Amino acid sequence: MTSDEKRALLLLKSVIFHYHGLDEDEQKLLDEAAKQMDAQEELKWANEFISKDYLSAFERAREYLNNTIAKYDKEKRLKYLDMVWKANNKKGYITEMEATAMLKLAKDWQVENELIEMVKK
């Protein structure tokens, strides 16, 4: 995985976790993901991206991700959303706001139906 791919994935995970306010468990999951991918600098970048303006973070991230992840092949776009969905499940729940945010991105990336089918399983 390239640095740009790590950056995009960690921004995706981070902005979804921040959507309702990042808690300690979510921060641990982000730190663990960054460690597993050897992507501490990319996580730092994602956190700085979000902290620049917390209120507009999702829309800014959405624009950034639409210019990066949306260009990946369909399988990879769905894989990234699946990774975020599973990361949310690790904490034991997915809020309605997080699910809605992921569905918005899936719609942008033209994988909405696939994400819904994947979640049903």
pLDDT tens track for 25-48: 889 999 999 999 999 999 999 999
Give per-residue pLDDT as tens, 56-113: 999 999 999 999 998 899 999 999 999 999 888 888 888 888 999 999 999 999 999 9
DSSP per residue, 28-94: HHHHHHHHHHT-HHHHHHHHHHHHT-GGGHHHHHHHHHHTTGGGS-HHHHHHHHHHHHHHHHHTT--
CA distance 65 to 82: 15
**pTM beyond 0.75:** yes
Domain ranges within the chain, ordered by starting residue: 3-120
